[in-house]
């Protein structure tokens, strides 16, 4: 509960800072530096969780969670600062419109979903893989993409784009956390891990609920994307490579839920489907951008 109160305090402080900074250009740090710092903080949290896992150092679990929360709030503040700096640059848009911005928002979604779920977990060891995933995504954003703030092309000047990106990445974030739970489920029989984990049934239930949560938001993401596509390109669906692979990902997770309800697939089957689904998410997000060309080519660096 104390950690939760600290988290609420940091959240309120970040909002106060945001509103105080509205008319003060000079006090705003470079958002890209803050996102880069977030990358190292997420990696530090992952490292401490791994220390707890390997050496059974109880403080590693506690410090990992505290550092994870600090990374989340820095990520959130950096997002707000970039939003302000788009207005200061004269463009004024919500920073969700290119590969760099979507990557750092992806990291924010992963961290937020896991950290709020962590209050329900009997152990914090799952943060090791979750924050490692988030740090790698943030690192890719910092090292391989262009962080420059640029004016939007006409197709991106739509409120439906904001709804589409937010809903999709809430789904992606939940699928990423479900992926981590699935990995832990598959290795939970190892003798040196049994002391850390809840029952396999609990792990299975968390994975399934995360998939349900992610599937709901991802479905909304596809719907809002279709509406946005109609406004931007005059067609709800064009069988663009990104659209096609989004549909494939949706079918994988939809099939997973169907298999759970109708066929009673639990345990390892569910875990492997979750891992396959997240691999499809990564290809939908990265592979399509770099290997296939289409209407979404503006998302490349």
pLDDT of residue 1: 45
All structural domains of the chain with their residue ranges: 1-15+26-151, 153-301
Sites in the chain below the pLDDT cut of 70: 1-28, 191-196, 289, 291-301
CA distance 87 to 77: 16
**Nearest residue to 182 via CA among 255, 278, 113, 116:** 278
pLDDT of residue 88: 85
Could you tell me how far CA 14 lies from the centroid of its own chain?
A: 20
- What is this structure's pTM? 0.86
pLDDT tens for each residue of 205-259: 999 999 999 999 999 999 999 898 888 777 777 778 888 889 999 999 999 999 9
CA–CA–CA angle 193, 197, 202 (5° rounding): 145
Q: Report the interhelical angle of 241-258 vs 267-282 (nearest 10°).
A: 170
């Amino acid at each position: 509960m104390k950690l939760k109160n600290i988290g609420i305090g940091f959240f309120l402080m970040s909002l106060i800072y945001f509103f105080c900074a509205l008319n003060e250009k000079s006090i705003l740090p470079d958002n890209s530096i803050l996102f880069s710092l977030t990358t190292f903080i997420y990696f530090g949290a992952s490292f401490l969780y791994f220390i707890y896992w390997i050496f059974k150092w109880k403080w590693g679990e506690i410090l990992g969670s505290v550092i994870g929360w600090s990374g989340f709030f820095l990520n959130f503040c950096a997002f707000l600062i970039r939003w302000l700096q788009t207005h200061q640059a004269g463009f004024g848009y919500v920073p969700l419109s290119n590969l760099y911005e979507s990557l750092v928002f992806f990291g924010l979604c992963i961290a937020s979903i896991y950290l709020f779920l962590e209050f329900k977990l009997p152990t914090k060891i799952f943060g090791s893989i979750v924050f490692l995933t988030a740090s790698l995504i943030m690192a890719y954003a910092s090292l391989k993409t262009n962080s420059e703030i640029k004016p939007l092309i006409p197709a991106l000047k739509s409120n439906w784009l904001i709804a589409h990106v937010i809903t999709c990445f809430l789904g992606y974030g939940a699928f990423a956390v479900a992926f981590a739970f699935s990995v832990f489920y598959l290795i939970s029989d190892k003798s040196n891990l049994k002391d850390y984990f809840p029952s396999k049934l609990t792990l299975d239930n968390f994975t399934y609920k995360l998939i349900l949560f992610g599937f709901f938001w991802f479905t909304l993401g596809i719907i809002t994307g279709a509406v946005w596509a109609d406004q931007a390109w005059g067609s709800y669906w064009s069988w663009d490579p990104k659209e096609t692979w989004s549909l494939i990902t949706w079918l994988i997770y939809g099939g997973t839920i169907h298999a759970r309800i109708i066929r009673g697939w639990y345990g390892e089957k569910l875990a492997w489907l979750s891992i396959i689904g997240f691999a499809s998410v990564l290809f939908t997000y990265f592979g399509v951008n770099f290997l296939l060309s289409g209407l979404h080519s503006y998302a490349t660096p």
